[in-house]
């Protein structure tokens, strides 16, 4: 029950009851409700924007954000590991493979070059975790570019390896006659006494003494350039073009076992020892030509003799004796 309030009427010398107007009463009630509503709204806004009070949706979004951060950290660790592995491959590529195949290494500036333009990652800016996302994307882009460069490099190495295999097969790397006991090496490359004039002159090949009819072998893969007696003094002779600038010559043959234009493999019998042309006795005169220069055949016997045998044959070849042609 509400209190009844009175006031003293001095004119009538009596207490009279205070009557509140209904309009004013309803005004007070409205103001109270309005202020209560505003207060409640402000409290709600405050609660929504306060981190200490999260809605279920906020909790879900927060969990997804933390999960994304964790995934990006794991991704960056994997990218760092992949980068380390790729760096090791690049180092082997530059310092082993490309050196072995005599080709220039790829500079690190070319391998590690980034992507120009600051606007490349502009769409990823302005977010709470922009640095994390941009950094990850940069790593992926650089790693992708390095992988493309390395892939092209390995493709080049494969081509060089195939060419190297052909080169190794083409180089004249065995002795042209069987010489197990090394006794057939009669005269080496260098100054020798001419068997006819007895004058000291340069001997541009190696002489292997052997009986007439002893098989002669191609010392490397190649194509027969000629099998005739067109060169003065060489008698019946064969020239093989091995490619890569190498040519070998086999002279004073008794007969041929090949023809011009024929492809031969290392170890194929191409002819037989004789004493045709300017020759003192049955033997094979053997030359190796690189470009237009006649070079010492002794440097190419690594495919058929051991290190000890190489030392022994070197001593025989370096003796300044009389050649057989």
Report which of residues 302 and 51 the model is more confident about: 302
Residue 177: pLDDT band (50, 70, 90) is very high
Whole-number percent of the chain with pLDDT over 90: 24
Closest by CA to 301, choosing from 190, 186, 171, 122, is 171
Torsion of CA 196, 201, 202, 203, to 10 degrees: 10
Quote the pTM value: 0.56
Cβ burial of 133 (10 Å; 0-12, 13-18, 19+) is: middle
> So what's the pLDDT on residue 116?
58
Q: Are 219 and 190 in contact (CB under 8 A)?
A: no
Q: Are 305 and 181 in contact (CB under 8 A)?
A: no
From CA 139, how far away is CA 147, in angstroms rounded?
12
How would you classify residue 302: left for phi > 0, otherwise alpha for psi between -120 and 50, otherwise beta? alpha
Please give the structure tokens belonging to residue 258.
Answer: 């090949």
Greatest mean pLDDT among 108-112, 181-185, 245-249, 320-324 lies in 245-249
pLDDT at position 267 over 90: yes
Whole-number percent of the chain with pLDDT over 70: 85
pLDDT at position 201 over 80: yes
From CA 84, how far away is CA 259, in angstroms rounded?
57
Mapping DSSP to helix (H, G, I), strand (E, B) and coil, where does residue 134 land?
A: helix
Q: Are 132 and 98 in contact (CB under 8 A)?
A: no
From CA 15, how far away is CA 7, in angstroms rounded?
6
Greatest mean pLDDT among 58-62, 189-193, 226-230 lies in 226-230
pLDDT at position 234 over 90: yes
* 50-54, 193-197, 285-289: least confident range: 50-54
Give the side-chain half-sphere CA count within 13 A for 146.
Answer: 25
> So what's the pLDDT on residue 104?
81
Q: Are 237 and 200 in contact (CB under 8 A)?
A: no
CA distances from 310 to 79, 284, 300, 305 (A): 52, 19, 10, 6
The per-residue pLDDT for range 56-98, each reduced to its tens digit, is: 776 777 777 777 777 778 888 888 888 888 888 888 888 877 7
From CA 162, how far away is CA 157, in angstroms rounded?
9
């Amino acid at each position: 029950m509400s209190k009844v309030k009175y006031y003293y009427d001095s004119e009538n010398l009596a207490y009279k009851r205070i009557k509140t107007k209904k309009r004013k009463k309803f005004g007070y009630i409205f103001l109270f409700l309005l202020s209560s509503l505003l207060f409640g709204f402000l409290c709600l806004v405050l609660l929504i924007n306060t981190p200490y009070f999260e809605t279920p949706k906020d909790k879900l979004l927060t969990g997804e954000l933390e999960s994304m951060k964790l995934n990006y950290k794991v991704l960056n660790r994997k990218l760092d590991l992949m980068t380390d592995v790729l760096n090791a491959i690049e180092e082997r590529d530059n310092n082993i493979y490309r050196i072995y195949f005599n080709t220039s290494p790829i500079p690190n500036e070319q391998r590690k070059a980034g992507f120009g333009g600051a606007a490349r990652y502009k769409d990823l800016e302005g977010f709470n975790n922009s640095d994390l996302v941009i950094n990850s994307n940069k790593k992926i882009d650089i790693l992708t570019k390095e992988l493309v460069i390395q892939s092209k490099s390995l493709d080049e190495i494969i081509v060089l390896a195939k060419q190297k295999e052909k080169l190794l097969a083409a180089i004249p790397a065995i002795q042209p006659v069987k010489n197990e006991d090394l006794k057939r090496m009669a005269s080496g490359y260098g100054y020798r006494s001419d068997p006819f004039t007895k004058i000291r002159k340069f001997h541009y090949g190696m002489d292997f003494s052997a009986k007439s009819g002893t098989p002669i072998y191609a010392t490397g893969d190649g194509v027969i350039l000629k099998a005739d007696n067109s060169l003065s003094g060489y008698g019946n002779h064969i020239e093989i073009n091995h490619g890569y600038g190498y040519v070998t010559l086999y002279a004073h043959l008794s007969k041929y076992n090949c023809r011009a234009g024929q492809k031969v493999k290392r170890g194929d019998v191409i002819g037989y020892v004789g004493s045709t042309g300017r020759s003192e006795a049955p033997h094979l005169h053997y030359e190796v030509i690189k470009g237009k220069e006649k070079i010492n055949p002794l440097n190419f016997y690594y495919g058929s003799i051991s290190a000890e045998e190489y030392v022994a044959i070197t001593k025989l070849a370096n003796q300044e004796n009389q050649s057989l042609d």
